[in-house]
Amino acid sequence: MAYGHETGYSEISDDAVKNLIKKGKAVLVDVRTAEEYEKDHINGAISIPYTEIYDLAEKTIPDKNTKVIVYCSNGGRSIIAARRFAVLGYKNIYDLGGFQDFKDKIEK
């Protein structure tokens, strides 16, 4: 399911995420709670809980042209987060959905 311009964000494949992160061309954002992030998260991800995006996004990621990849546990909160980034004017937002496919890249 691709979303595109009408929603302000797009889906992205696992391989594309790994490529962008490896090249340092994107910011990976864990939008779960701080407690969930502390338990486990994808290597290199920063924590901006979806409930705090309006307060923290512009301070944390000031360049709205930055490629922002959001993820959560199962995909529900990442959709909300992607929409919130779009409302704030971010131009390159990608929804990874849930992070189960990245278990080999998770920090504990």
Which residues are designated catalytic? 72
Map out the domains of the chain with their CATH numbers. 10-95 (3.40.250.10)
The helix, strand and coil proportions of the chain, stated in percent and rounded to the nearest 5, come to 40, 25, 35
32-36, 40-44, 93-97, range with the lowest pLDDT: 40-44
pTM of the model: 0.86
Residue 1, pLDDT score: 36
88-98 pLDDT, tens digit per residue, is 999 999 998 88
β-strands 41-42, 106-107: how paired?
antiparallel
What residues does 36 pair with on adjacent strands?
none
Residue 3, pLDDT score: 45
Q: Would you say how long the chain is, in residues? A: 108
